[in-house]
C-alpha cells in the first residue's frame, strides 16, 4: 500500500508539474507576443508625422480683363485699391462691395505670368500671397495679377509673396 501511495503521489506531482510547465510556456509566448506588439507600435509611432500648419484664408475672385488689363505700374510691388484710393482707369469697379489687390513681380521674371492662388493669414497683420507661374513666351510686360476681395479685408495688412514651391517672389 505504501508503494501504491508513493506511486500515486509521484504521478500527481509529475502531472501537476507538467501542467505548470505548459502554463509557463503559454505565459512566455504571451509575453513575447506583447513585446512584439509594443515594438511594432513603437516603430509605427516613430514614423508618425505631425500635420502641416493650416492658415485661415481670405476669399477672393480673379479678374478676367475682357477689354485688356490696365497698364502695369512703373515698378514692381503690391497695391490694395479701394473706393477712396484707386487709379482712374478702374473707376468702373464696384467699390462699394469690394476692394482690389494688385501684385506686380519684378521685370527679372521675363516671359512669365503669375496667378494668385491663395491669400493666407499668417498673422493678424500679415498676409501670404501664394502665386503660380506660367510661361508666357514673348511677354514683355512684368508678371502681374489682380483679384477682388471683400471691402476692408486687406486694410492695414503687410504682405509676403511666395510661389507654390515656397520660393519668395521678388516684388521690389
For the segment 42-56, what is each residue's pLDDT rounded down to a tens digit?
A: 666 778 888 888 889
Which cell numbers in the block locate residue 130?
A: 501664394
**H or E element at residue 12:** helix 2-46
- Are 109 and 72 spatial neighbours (Cβ–Cβ below 8 Å)? no
Return the pLDDT at 56.
Answer: 92
| CA–CA gap between residue 86 and residue 112 (Å, rounded) | 26
Please determine, for residue 2, whether its predicted confidence score (pLDDT) is greater than 90. Answer: no
What tens digit of pLDDT does each residue of 96-149 get? 999 999 999 999 998 999 999 999 999 999 999 999 999 988 888 899 999 999
Burial 79-113 (b: 16+ CB within 10 A, else e): ebbbeeebeeeeeebebeebbbbbbbbeeebeeeb
| CA–CA gap between residue 121 and residue 5 (Å, rounded) | 89
- Are 120 and 127 spatial neighbours (Cβ–Cβ below 8 Å)? yes
Query: ∠28-32-35 over CA atoms, to 5°?
Result: 140
Query: Burial level of 76, CB count in 10 A (0-12/13-18/19+)?
Result: buried
Lowest mean pLDDT among 2-6, 16-20, 35-39, 110-114: 16-20
Amino acid at each position: 500500500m505504501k508503494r501504491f501511495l508513493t506511486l500515486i503521489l509521484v504521478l500527481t506531482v509529475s502531472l501537476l508539474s507538467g501542467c505548470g510547465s505548459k502554463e509557463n510556456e503559454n505565459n512566455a509566448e504571451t509575453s513575447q507576443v506583447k513585446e512584439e506588439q509594443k515594438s511594432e507600435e513603437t516603430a509605427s509611432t516613430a514614423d508618425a508625422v505631425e500635420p502641416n500648419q493650416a492658415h485661415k484664408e481670405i476669399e477672393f475672385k480673379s479678374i478676367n480683363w475682357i477689354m485688356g488689363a490696365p497698364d502695369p505700374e512703373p515698378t514692381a510691388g503690391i497695391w490694395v485699391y479701394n473706393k477712396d484710393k484707386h487709379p482712374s482707369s478702374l473707376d468702373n469697379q464696384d467699390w462699394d462691395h469690394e476692394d482690389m489687390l494688385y501684385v506686380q513681380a519684378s521685370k527679372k521674371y521675363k516671359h512669365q505670368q503669375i496667378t494668385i492662388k491663395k491669400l493666407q493669414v499668417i498673422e493678424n497683420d500679415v498676409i501670404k500671397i501664394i502665386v503660380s507661374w506660367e510661361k508666357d513666351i514673348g511677354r514683355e510686360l512684368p508678371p502681374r495679377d489682380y483679384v477682388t476681395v471683400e471691402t476692408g479685408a486687406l486694410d492695414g495688412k503687410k504682405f509676403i509673396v511666395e510661389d507654390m514651391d515656397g520660393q519668395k517672389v521678388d516684388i521690389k
